[in-house]
Amino acid sequence: MLTLRETGPGSPIALLGTGVGLPAQIVDNATVAGPAGVTAEWVTERTGIRLRRWAKPDEATSDLAAAAGRAALQDAGVRAADLSLVLVATSTPDSPQPPTASLVADELGVAPGTVAFDLNAVCSGFVFALVTAERLLRASGGHALVIGADVYSRILDPTERRTAVLFGDGAGAVVLGPGGRAGLVAARLATFPEAHGLIRVPAGGSRIPATADSIDAGLHHFAMEGRAVRDFVLETVAPAIRDFVRDAGEIAAFVPHQANPNLVADLAAAVGIAPERTVVTGAEHGNTGAASVPTALHHARAGLHPGDLALLAGFGGGMSAGLALLRF
């Protein structure tokens, strides 16, 4: 477990702007319920999700990431040419190589030599990437574009009700640099590798390459042990959050990973954060993987005031948890 505090070395780095990139296609519960063998009402009752957005056939993760990045740069008043780092958190890259961040950097028109790379901590990825970028900028200066982006609709088995009804596609981004609207007060990153099998895509890598047999067996689909994941969130992540914020003061906005609205409500209750302080976007967007925390942060930002604390909490495959406190 890695814990970082505001007093770290180097120059202070702040959040300068935020942005989102969401597909235009809206998918309702009736659309996903039929192939999964359930009803639209069942999906709403079990998950709290009503809608999600799916990428068009010609849209990939880099397209959504670039849209979010462009919006965040405009919000921050920073040019792409002034970036020194582009970091994309994703577990659904455009392809195994090159890094999706390279494609985004090229699309945005960054300066030659700008560092661009991907980070995969699944649904914790954005918080991991945020902390990584903040620490790099403390040492080097400059500006960073940090993006969480995923297109999970491409790796779902539409007949599997435990997963097919949960996910949407999207991207969220922030720009970091000197000065600005919010600073990182503290962060805690942790991985619990003994539970790595709870969330998985078995094939498509070096252990099980893409073959006709692996595709026929459905090994390229996303798989999750839903009940065990829920237990992990409430029995491992919730106590970690309580410990992390014990001396932090009042939390104005709790910005968790949007696994599903029902689980978000249970997590907030377990942590002791009031529903009105909990940001919930999953009802309209579904679970967008690494995009869910930055998308929810963008949604929450308008309601935050100087001095407010926002708690970001990512959790997901690995199993992993990423926590961060921002002071506006």
Examine residue 319 and say whether the peptide bond preceding it is cis (omega within 30 degrees of 0).
yes
Which tokens is 34 given? Answer: 């039929």
Check 257, 285, 298, 299 and give the catalytic one. Answer: 257
> DSSP states of 141-156 as a string?
-SEEEEEEEEEGGGG-
C-beta separation of 43 from 33 below 8 A: yes
Check 123, 221, 260, 285 and give the catalytic one. Answer: 123
What integer is the mean pLDDT of 5-20? 78
Q: Binning pLDDT at 50, 70 and 90, where does residue 7 land?
A: very low
What average pLDDT does the structure give for the chain? 95
Q: Binning pLDDT at 50, 70 and 90, where does residue 117 land?
A: very high
Q: Binning pLDDT at 50, 70 and 90, where does residue 6 land?
A: low
Share of the chain above pLDDT 70, in %: 97
Residue with tokens 């500006």: 143
Which pTM value belongs to this model?
Answer: 0.96
Q: Is the pLDDT of residue 123 over 50?
A: yes
Segment 202-219, tens digit of pLDDT = 999 999 999 999 999 999
287 is catalytic: yes
Distance CA 54, CA 52 (A): 7
- Output the pLDDT for position 198: 97
Which tokens is 30 given? Answer: 């009736």
Q: Where are the alpha helices (DSSP H) in the chain?
A: 29-36, 40-47, 61-76, 100-108, 125-140, 161-164, 212-216, 226-232, 238-244, 261-271, 282-285, 292-300
Q: Binning pLDDT at 50, 70 and 90, where does residue 225 land?
A: very high
Q: Is the pLDDT of residue 253 over 90?
A: yes
Q: Is the pLDDT of residue 11 over 70?
A: no
257 is catalytic: yes
Q: Is the pLDDT of residue 299 over 90?
A: yes
Q: Binning pLDDT at 50, 70 and 90, where does residue 100 land?
A: very high
Lowest mean pLDDT among 2-16, 55-69, 84-98, 294-308: 2-16
Distance CA 18, CA 299 (A): 9
What integer is the mean pLDDT of 104-116? 98
What integer is the mean pLDDT of 6-33? 88
Q: Is the pLDDT of residue 323 over 70?
A: yes
Q: Which domains does the chain have, with CATH numbers?
A: 1-328 (3.40.47.10)
Distance CA 127, CA 147 (A): 10
Q: Is the pLDDT of residue 9 over 60?
A: no
Check 120, 287, 298, 299 and give the catalytic one. Answer: 287
- Output the pLDDT for position 2: 73
120 is catalytic: no
Q: Is the pLDDT of residue 1 over 80?
A: no
Closest Cα to residue 230, out of 276, 253, 255, 262?
A: 262
Segment 159-199, tens digit of pLDDT = 999 999 999 999 999 999 998 767 999 999 999 999 999 99
